Copies of this chain bind each other. A is one copy, B any other.
Amino acid sequence: MSAPTTEVGTRSTPAGAGLAELYAQVQQFYAAHFHLLDSGDAHAWAETFTEDGWFWPQVLPEPVRGRAALRAGVLRTREKLAAANEQHRHWHGMVHVQPVDERTVAVRCYAQIFAIPAGGPARLHLHCVCEDVLVREGDEWKVRQRKVVRDDLPPRAF
């Protein structure tokens, strides 16, 4: 409950020059980020968060904080999926970006999570809303904070 947060959605959206580059970078980042997650590459995925980055799925009382915890979460999920003989795939879309400062962007987007059991058929597993704060480190974006709300559950305060 005490995680330091950057407010998402409180600034107006720049429609002018410069949106394109930021927007493309965020889309490209999400592609790489979820290709890593869905391939089960716990180490490389955790590296796409800042060192103190956190991920707060609605079902947890506290965020998963820091790369060691993020890696452990991927490894647990990888075991569960292997046991179930399922592949998961994450889509981020309907991406809305709001620059906060030179190296920080707040993103609100939708998330589809698909589950594909061996032999099929693929199914939509969850639909979520994701609020991220991404920061620039060198020439890479990293997740500093992520809150994910599930549309099948009652809303909760973070």
Contacts and interface: CB of A to CB of B under 8 A. Distances in A.
A93 interface: yes
B121 A124 contact: yes
A114 B141 contact: no
A117 interface: yes
Interface string A80-111: 00000001011111111100000000001110
Contact of A124 (B20, B23, B114): B114
Contacts of A87: 127, 151
Interface stretch (A27-35, A51-59, A60-68, A71-79): A27-35
Interface in A116-143: 116-127, 139-141
A34 to B, nearest CB: 6
Nearest to A109: B31
Interface string A1-41: 00000000000010111011101110110111011000000
Given A31-B108, A119-B152, 15 more contacts: A13-B32, A15-B140, A17-B21, A20-B24, A28-B95, A30-B94, A32-B96, A35-B108, A89-B127, A90-B94, A118-B153, A118-B154, A120-B152, A122-B127, A122-B151
